[in-house]
């Protein structure tokens, strides 16, 4: 059966991650499998799961070598969990690990499984490097040869240019534009000033630094390769310093290296379960994953590439019968601060809410003092597939410390998609 006799609440037990690090630095030679395994081991040690058979483990990476076709399963086998624990890979760009949590949450809610780990990992340092298609075809023709002559014959077409490597592209295949270029257009459309982007970036750094200094992340992060804290956080950042940075994606643009997410390496994992499973093992429940929603936009013809969460959130609010103001915490992924501000402005716009969302009135504004309280992706970093799990664990802990409440998660992704969720206690 795919569905049990009743729907169960999906408990968030907690999470672990390794420190997020700027790419080409301390994790330059760490593989996705090493990093993902480190986060899983951290979760196993934290919750005494060594030798346990979990219902399922789901994780993924955006930048992944072909040899990592079974990445999550291989990491599980090294994690300390029982080898009988199954695992699968999933990839939805920057929404990967939040999507995985929703998928696994559905399995728990319907009684298919009782426990699961949702995780994600990415490295922009150890990226897959390929060679031109002509060289690949030559190698395959040679490999198909049955005789020595047939194997050697294709090499007559070899050219030195075949050895020129092709690094992974960062542009959208359908437009040829990078995410930053797309977001620059969004900032122009929504008239987002640079000073507002820089202000949000400054707040992200200051909040993240304060959270670390106050010990908030101490039980959420496990050391890896000598690193104990996220190394992109700038506690000494200022508006003056941010204002000196040059535009990164357009000559007269507003997006800079300071108000955009840095290329980052890292991994994160979250333990989910039924309430009974947690109770049996004496594990406290931090919060509950209650709603999730996806959306996609036509970013080629109609809409900004990173605007899909602006559509997903109101649909999720309708499911939950809530308003945008019914939250104590807002965790909005900072791919670029301009993207966050465009989304917030869209929800405040009578025209956007009427014409695009088909709502009778605007969703309205949020209390900014409740947004990304422990720092956002611009400060902490953004290993693509790991960010959702990082946010989910952070939000669950904030709700547990508060004792009650409700939090909203919004993550934009490449390909014009968005993944959103509601977490409650």
β-strand pairing of 87-89 with 56-59:
parallel
The residue whose two tokens read 């499973």 is 277
Token representation of residue 80: 């300390």
**Distance between CA atoms of residues 90 and 72, nearest Å:** 9
Burial grade of 1 (CB within 10 A; 0-12, 13-18, 19 or more): exposed
**Residues taking part in catalysis:** 94, 382, 412
Query: Per-residue b/e over 226-253, b at no fewer than 16 CB within 10 Å?
Result: ebebbbbbbeebeeeebeebeebbeeeb
Task: Determine phi and psi for 289, rounding to 5 degrees.
Answer: -85, 110
DSSP secondary structure letters along 276-303: HHHHHTTPPP-EEEEEEEEEE--TTTTS
DSSP secondary structure letters along 74-113: HHHHTTTS-TT--EEE--BTBTHHHHHHHHHHHHHHTTS-
**Distance between CA atoms of residues 304 and 77, nearest Å:** 41
Closest CA to 71 of 97, 110, 98, 32: 32
Provide the phi-psi class of 176: left if phi over 0, else alpha when psi is between -120 and 50, else beta: left
């Amino acid at each position: 059966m795919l569905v049990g006799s009743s729907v169960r609440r999906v408990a968030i037990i907690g999470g672990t991650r390794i420190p997020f690090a700027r790419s080409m630095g301390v994790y330059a030679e760490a593989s996705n499998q090493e990093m993902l395994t480190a986060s899983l081991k951290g979760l196993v040690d934290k919750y005494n799961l060594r030798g346990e058979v979990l219902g399922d483990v789901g994780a993924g990476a955006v930048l992944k070598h072909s040899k990592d076709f079974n990445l999550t399963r291989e990491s599980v086998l090294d994690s300390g969990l029982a080898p009988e624990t199954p695992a699968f890979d999933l990839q939805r760009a920057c929404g990967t690990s939040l999507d995985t949590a929703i998928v696994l949450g559905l399995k728990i809610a319907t009684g298919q499984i009782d426990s699961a780990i949702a995780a994600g990992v990415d490295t922009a340092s150890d990226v897959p490097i390929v060679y031109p298609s002509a060289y690949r075809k030559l190698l395959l023709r040679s490999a198909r040869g049955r005789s020595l002559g047939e194997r050697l014959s294709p090499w007559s077409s070899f050219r030195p240019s075949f050895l020129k490597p092709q690094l992974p592209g960062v542009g959208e295949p359908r437009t040829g534009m990078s995410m930053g270029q797309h977001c620059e257009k969004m900032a122009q459309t929504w008239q987002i000033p640079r000073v507002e982007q820089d202000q949000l970036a400054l707040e992200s750094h200051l909040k993240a630094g304060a959270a670390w200094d106050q010990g908030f992340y101490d039980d959420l992060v496990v050391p890896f390769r000598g690193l104990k804290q996220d190394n992109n956080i700038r506690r000494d950042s200022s508006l003056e310093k941010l204002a000196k940075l040059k535009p990164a994606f357009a000559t007269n643009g507003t997006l800079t290296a300071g108000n955009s997410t840095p290329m980052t390496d890292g991994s994160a994992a979250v333990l989910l379960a039924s309430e009974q499973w947690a109770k049996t093992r004496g594990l406290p429940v931090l919060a509950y994953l209650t709603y999730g929603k996806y959306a996609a936009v036509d970013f080629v013809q109609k809409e900004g590439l990173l605007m899909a969460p602006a559509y997903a959130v109101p649909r999720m609010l309708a499911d939950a019968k809530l308003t945008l103001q019914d939250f104590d915490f807002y965790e909005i992924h900072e791919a670029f601060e301009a993207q966050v501000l465009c989304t917030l402005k869209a929800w405040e716009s009578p025209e956007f809410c009427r014409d695009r969302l088909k709502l009778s009135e605007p969703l309205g504004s949020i209390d900014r003092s409740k947004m990304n309280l422990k720092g956002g992706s611009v400060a902490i970093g953004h290993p693509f597939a790991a960010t959702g799990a990082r946010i989910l664990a952070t939000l669950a802990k904030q709700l547990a410390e508060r004792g009650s409440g409700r939090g909203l998660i919004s993550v934009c992704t490449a390909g014009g998609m968005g993944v959103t969720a509601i977490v409650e206690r």
